[in-house]
């Protein structure tokens, strides 16, 4: 017996199943059109957040009138069922197509992803971010189009909260690390869709959710030999760690359309993904309080600084020699005072008992005993012995004992970005708590 919703939509057979809903092929008995009916799982009807997200999907789809977004026809809520009736799109989604037929030709992949970039830009301008861009949510439409069919976890573009569930292998690094989300998460996922269209493999799939999350943070795909270098630059830009560095979607679409005529129209065999360590410093634009000086070739910079140091040395004495000279002068002065005391006939006390030469001269000579006329031992107090001048100056210009100002070794950072700790994750990554489990069938 067939199920009929709202006395109008006949559910013919199931065509897809996810964590939240089941999609049926249906018939609109009023218009005679084939429709897709997405029905909320009955056991989730009592989950307030999921129910609201499901209901919000229909509202978002009504708001976005774009050929790259599936059209919404009706929304049904009764005591027993919650469903959204959608435009039916004949054919396969991108993931199923890649599974059955392998990678798209590079020219076709560029055109279809250009179409997707323009659609995402329209979605963002309407005030939303999709938040779950992936091949399973994109239907092939015509010779060069892709159509978004699932907005189940879409969010307002101004919202900084991450979705409560999704597909780990397509989440952006900032979501994986527990940071706030932005429309840049859609740009990142689009880069992964383009990669998968060219290779027929997901870049980050495999292992536990924590493993997948960590790879987003620390690794990036290596360019396959068969992929055009200019096209690969678009992929790498979209996969940047910094959301602000992922480009404007309209500009991305324009670049993909520019490249398409020169790209291959022959598909390659599937390409296994290879990952490398991210170069974190290459993707972020820092804005220090003091702006960076204009970039100079490192070798030229080293030669310039060495030449400047050589020119300055005759004009300024070394501080180490200056301090040594002062110390010698003090010693010589003390010797002169000692000689003067000897030749004046005054008995000098034992060196261990000598008072600090910096003290008043009236206290430097020992007093005589009034009865015997013999010099008496000076009274001693527990006072610190004066320290010798330090051989290494500790002024504000000195960072360490070595090298000195005249050293030929220039102090530089040893971190070239290859060993960045940016985004380091462990098994307790907060991102794994945000994204939940992968959605079945995705």
132 is known as an active-site residue: yes
Please give the CATH superfamily to which domain 94-286+424-435 belongs.
Transferase(Phosphotransferase) domain 1 (1.10.510.10)
- Which positions ≥6 away from 73 have C-beta within 8 Å? 28, 35, 85, 86, 87
- Report the CATH number of the 3-87 domain: 3.30.200.20
**If you compute the radius of gyration of the chain from its CA atoms, what whole number of angstroms results?**
38
Q: Is 118 in a helix, a strand, or coil? A: helix
pLDDT tens figures, 200-230? 999 999 999 999 999 999 999 999 999 999 9
Query: If you average pLDDT over residues 47-60, what whole number do you get?
Result: 83
Q: Reply yes or no on whether the pLDDT at 308 is more than 70.
A: no
Q: Tell me: pLDDT of 255 over 90.
A: yes
Same fold yes or no, 3-87 and 94-286+424-435: no
- Positions of E strands within 236-370: 275-277
10 Å CB burial of residue 340 (0-12, 13-18, 19+) is: exposed
CB 138 within 8 A of CB 146: yes
Give mean pLDDT, residues 74-85.
90
In terms of pLDDT, which residue wins out, 382 or 99? 99
pLDDT at 334: 55
Over residues 14-30, the mean pLDDT reads 91
Distance CA 49, CA 29 (A): 32
Sorted by where each begins, the domain ranges of the chain are 3-87, 94-286+424-435
Instruction: List the catalytic residue out of 121, 132, 150, 186.
Output: 132
Q: What local confidence, expressed as pLDDT, does residue 108 receive?
A: 98
- Rounded CA-CA distance 180/165 in Å is 15
Work out the pLDDT band at 325, boundaries 50, 70, 90: low
User: Hey, is 346 helix, strand or coil?
Assistant: coil
The reported pTM is: 0.62
């Amino acid at each position: 017996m067939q199920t009929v919703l709202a006395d109008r939509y006949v559910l013919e057979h199931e065509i897809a199943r996810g964590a939240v809903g089941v999609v049926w092929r249906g018939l609109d008995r009023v218009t005679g059109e084939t429709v897709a009916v997405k029905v909320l799982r009955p056991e989730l009807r009592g989950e307030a957040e999921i129910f609201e997200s499901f209901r919000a999907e229909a509202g978002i789809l009504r708001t976005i009138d774009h050929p790259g977004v599936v059209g919404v026809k009706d929304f049904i809520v009764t005591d027993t069922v919650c469903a959204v009736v959608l435009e039916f799109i004949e054919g396969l989604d991108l993931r199923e197509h890649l599974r059955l037929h392998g990678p798209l030709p590079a020219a076709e992949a560029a055109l279809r992803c250009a179409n997707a970039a323009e659609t995402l830009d329209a979605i963002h301008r309407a005030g939303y971010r999709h938040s779950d861009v992936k091949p399973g949510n994109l239907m092939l439409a015509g010779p060069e189009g892709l159509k978004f069919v699932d907005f189940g976890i879409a969010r307002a573009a101004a919202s900084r909260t991450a979705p409560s569930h999704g597909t780990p292998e397509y989440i952006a690094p900032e979501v994986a690390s527990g940071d706030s989300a932005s429309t840049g998460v859609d740009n990142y996922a689009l880069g992964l869709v383009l990669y998968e269209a060219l290779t027929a493999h997901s870049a980050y799939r495999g292992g536990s959710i924590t493993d997948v999350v960590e790879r987003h943070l620390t690794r990036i795909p290596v360019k396959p030999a068969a992929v055009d270098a200019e096209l690969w630059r678009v992929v790498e830009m979209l996969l940047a760690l910094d959301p602000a560095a992922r480009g404007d979607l309209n500009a991305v679409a324009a670049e993909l359309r520019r490249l398409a005529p020169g790209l291959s129209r022959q598909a390659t065999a599937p390409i296994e993904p290879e990952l490398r360590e991210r170069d974190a410093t290459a993707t972020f634009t820092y804005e220090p309080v003091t702006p960076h000086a204009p970039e100079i070739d490192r070798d030229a910079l080293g030669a310039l600084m060495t030449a400047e140091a050589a020119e300055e040395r005759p004009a300024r004495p070394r501080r180490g020699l200056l301090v040594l000279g002062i110390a010698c002068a003090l010693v010589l002065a003390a010797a002169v005072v000692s000689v003067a005391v000897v030749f004046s006939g005054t008995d000098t006390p034992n060196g261990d008992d000598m008072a600090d030469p910096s003290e008043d001269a009236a206290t430097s000579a020992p007093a005589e005993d009034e009865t015997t006329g013999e010099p008496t031992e000076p009274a001693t107090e527990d006072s610190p012995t004066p320290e010798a001048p330090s051989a290494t100056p500790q002024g504000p210009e000195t960072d360490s004992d070595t090298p000195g100002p005249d050293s030929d070794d220039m102090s530089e950072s040893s971190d070239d970005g290859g060993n960045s700790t940016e985004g380091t994750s462990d098994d307790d990554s907060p991102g794994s708590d945000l994204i939940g489990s992968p959605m079945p069938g995705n």
